[in-house]
């Protein structure tokens, strides 16, 4: 919480948070002749593509077919179902916060009470959702795929359920429980020179989404003080 405000989170916060939780860091790459930033992770024993400085790219959507062969090994994060989790729903009639609005001025009423002339109010808490992710670990060599899996399990299941770390709209870090639902093989062999192997990790994150934005309300338009004098 910063300055009395509670930061907001939505899907992009969880997507980026998952990439960072998996060890991803932003690096500069060349894409279509332009310099752009992309997430990649360093996994000992698994060399990544030269275009990613030897790191393994983390992609948020399935890549274009024309890039896929050159990008192996790679990690692809795919968001699946969003399921409401009403057992985690906080008081729907509560008020999350009320703080002076940006640009508000302090005013004083006739009784000497001071306060802001505008306030920012967030009436409802974030809605609880379970967010399902499919994390594809793709490579050409089975040994590399197993190494990637061991690395990811060490993050997502250190001593039981792991945590997805993210940053909210106020720059505060948060942690949400992340549960591994299943690990499946990911083998697709066309021929010996064009094969893809690896693993698919199905992940459930106990998250929340801010679906109602805060609003600004005026508390006083003007203050007039009348003074009467007895004669």
Tell me: the pLDDT tens digits for 151-191? 999 999 866 678 999 999 989 999 999 999 999 998 765 54
Identify the burial level of 55 via C-beta atoms within 10 angstroms of its C-beta, where 0-12 means exposed, 13-18 middle and 19 or more buried: buried
What's the pLDDT band for 98 if we cut at 50, 70, 90? Answer: confident
Q: Can you point out the beta strands (E) in the chain?
A: 25-31, 34-41, 56-59, 74-84, 97-100, 106-108, 114-116, 118-122, 127-139, 162-167, 173-185, 188-191, 194-209, 215-218
In whole angstroms, give the CA distance from residue 102 to residue 230: 42
Please check whether residue 102 lies inside any domain of the structure: no
Range of the structural domain that residue 152 is part of: 11-95+126-218
Q: Report the domain count for the chain.
A: 1
pLDDT of residue 77: 95
Q: Is the predicted pLDDT of residue 3 greater than 70, yes or no?
A: no
Look at residue 28 and tell me if it is in a domain.
yes
User: Does 141 fall in a domain?
Assistant: yes
CATH number at 212 reads 3.30.2000
- Bridge partners (DSSP) listed for residue 140: none
Cα–Cα distance between 75 and 58 in angstroms, integer? 5
Does residue 211 form part of some domain? yes
Task: Please determine, for residue 143, whether its predicted confidence score (pLDDT) is greater than 90.
Answer: yes
Neighbours of 213 (CB within 10 A): 9
Domain membership of residue 118 (yes or no) is: no
Whether 186 is covered by a domain: the verdict is yes
pLDDT tens-digit readout, 110-120: 777 777 777 87
34 within some domain: yes
Tokens 């930033």 found at? 37
Residues of the chain above pLDDT 90, percent? 50
Q: Is residue 112 part of a domain?
A: no
pLDDT at 68 over 50: no
């Amino acid at each position: 919480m910063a300055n009395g405000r509670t930061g907001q989170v939505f899907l992009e916060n969880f997507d980026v948070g998952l990439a960072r939780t998996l060890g991803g860091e932003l690096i500069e790459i060349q894409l279509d002749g332009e310099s752009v930033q992309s997430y990649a992770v360093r996994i000992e024993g698994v060399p990544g593509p030269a275009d990613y400085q030897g790191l393994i790219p983390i992609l948020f959507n399935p890549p274009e077919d024309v890039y896929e062969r050159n990008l192996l090994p790679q990690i692809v994060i795919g968001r699946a179902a969003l399921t409401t989790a009403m057992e985690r729903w906080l008081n729907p009639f509560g008020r999350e916060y009320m703080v002076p609005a940006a640009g508000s001025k302090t005013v004083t009423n006739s009784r000497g009470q001071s306060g802001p002339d505008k306030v920012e109010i967030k009436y409802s808490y974030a809605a609880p959702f379970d967010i399902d992710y499919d994390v594809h670990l793709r490579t050409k060599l089975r040994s590399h795929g197993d190494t990637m899996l061991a690395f990811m399990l060490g993050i997502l299941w250190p001593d039981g359920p792991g945590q997805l770390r993210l940053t909210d709209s106020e720059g505060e870090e948060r942690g949400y429980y992340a549960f591994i639902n299943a690990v499946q093989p990911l083998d697709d062999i066309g021929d010996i020179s064009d094969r893809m192997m690896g693993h698919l990790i199905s992940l459930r994150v106990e998250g929340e989404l801010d679906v109602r934005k805060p609003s600004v309300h005026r508390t006083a338009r003007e203050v007039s003080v009348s003074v009467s004098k007895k004669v």
